[in-house]
Amino acid sequence: MLNDFILKTVNLNKSFRAEKNFFSSKTSGIKAVDNVSIKLKNGDVMGIAGESGSGKTTLAKIVSGLLDYDSGEVFINDRELKNYSRYELSKKVQMIFQDPFSSLNPKLSIGTAITEAIKTQNQNLSEKAIEILNMVGMAPDTMQKYPHQFSGGQRQRIAIARALASKPEIIIADEPVSSLDISVQAQIMNLFLDLKKTLGLSYIIISHDLNLLSAVSDNIAIMQNGKIIEYGQSEKIMDSPENPYTQRLISSILTINV
């Protein structure tokens, strides 16, 4: 790798066409990602915060290869994203979603879901799947069960296990704990940090919760209307925010906590 940035985007843009309405026959474009440039250092955690509709999830889907972009560039290990095959990209980036139940096939056992994601025939797939489940704190008998048999926190651990099965270098987690109880949220975030240390992972974690992001992130990017309007070290963002929008986000947190 030519530098220590495992991921970077350069002037990234993505628009969606708005539907025609009764009052106008014209179609208009909604710019979901507007000239966004970010850099993720190898082994770091980047938090991305912003209100609903700010472009966070669209950016995440582009970087993970789930959504195409209109212009700009995305580099992973200094190689342009579009030059990766789907299989190659799956071994670089995996995305974890807010609702693990909807991302797990209810008709597949957990063992099947994980072994299908292990792209090798050089080892015992069941043993490897059990090893991965153990890494996320799930028992071996998880293999024979189905998604509906687990709690929300357990399903999220399973979703993490499935993401780890392809041995990615980058995990993108989109609101990974927002639907979980507070105590379970802490357990899942601690799991992310433990896996970061043991596997050398890099993360992009998306959340509306700046308190959560500041606790786990090296740097935080604030998005509004598709743009990155403030970026910096977590402590600086939380202690000395410069943009009025960031100041309002932090102020709202302080108000809720009072």
Domain count, the chain: 1
- The per-residue pLDDT of the chain, averaged, comes to 90
Q: Residues 6 or more apart from 41 whose CB is under 8 A from it?
A: 4, 5, 6, 202, 218
Whether 131 is covered by a domain: the verdict is: yes
Per-residue pLDDT of 66-95, as tens digits, reads: 999 999 999 999 999 999 999 999 999 999
Q: Is the pTM of this model over 0.85?
A: yes
Yes or no: say if 126 and 115 are a contact pair by the CB < 8 Å rule: yes
Whole-angstrom Cα Rg for the chain: 19
What is the pLDDT, as a whole number, of residue 27? Answer: 56
Where residue 107 sits, what CATH number does that domain have? 3.40.50.300
Whether 23 is covered by a domain: the verdict is: no
Whether 178 is covered by a domain: the verdict is: yes
What is the pLDDT, as a whole number, of residue 96? Answer: 94
Handedness of CA 203, 186, 131, 173 (dihedral sign): negative
Whether 57 is covered by a domain: the verdict is: yes
Per-residue pLDDT of 27-66, as tens digits, reads: 567 899 999 999 999 999 999 999 989 999 999 999 999 9
Whether 24 is covered by a domain: the verdict is: no
Domain span including residue 234? 44-68+84-257
Yes or no: say if 49 and 222 are a contact pair by the CB < 8 Å rule: yes
Q: Could you count the other beta carbons within 10 Å of the beta carbon of residue 187?
A: 15
Whether 31 is covered by a domain: the verdict is: no
HEC string of the chain equals CCCCEEEEEEEEEEEEECCCECCECCCCEEEEEEEEEEEEECCCEEEEECCCCCCHHHHHHHHCCCCCCCEEEEEECCEEHHHCCHHHHHCCEEEECCCHHHHCCCCCCHHHHHHCCCCCCCCCHHHHHHHHHHHCCCCHHHHHCCHHHCCHHHHHHHHHHHHHCCCCCEEEEECCCCCCCHHHHHHHHHHHHHHHHHHCCEEEEECCCHHHHHHHCCEEEEEECCEEEEEEEHHHHHHCCCCHHHHHHHHHHHHHHC
User: Would you give per-residue pLDDT tens digits along the chain (258 residues)?
Assistant: 446 899 999 999 999 987 665 555 555 678 999 999 999 999 999 999 999 899 999 999 999 999 999 999 999 999 999 999 999 999 999 999 888 777 888 999 999 999 988 865 445 888 899 999 999 999 999 999 999 999 999 999 999 999 999 999 999 999 999 888 988 999 999 999 999 999 999 999 999 889 999 999 999 999 999 999 999 999 999 999 999 999 999 988 755 444
What residue has token string 């601690």?
A: 190
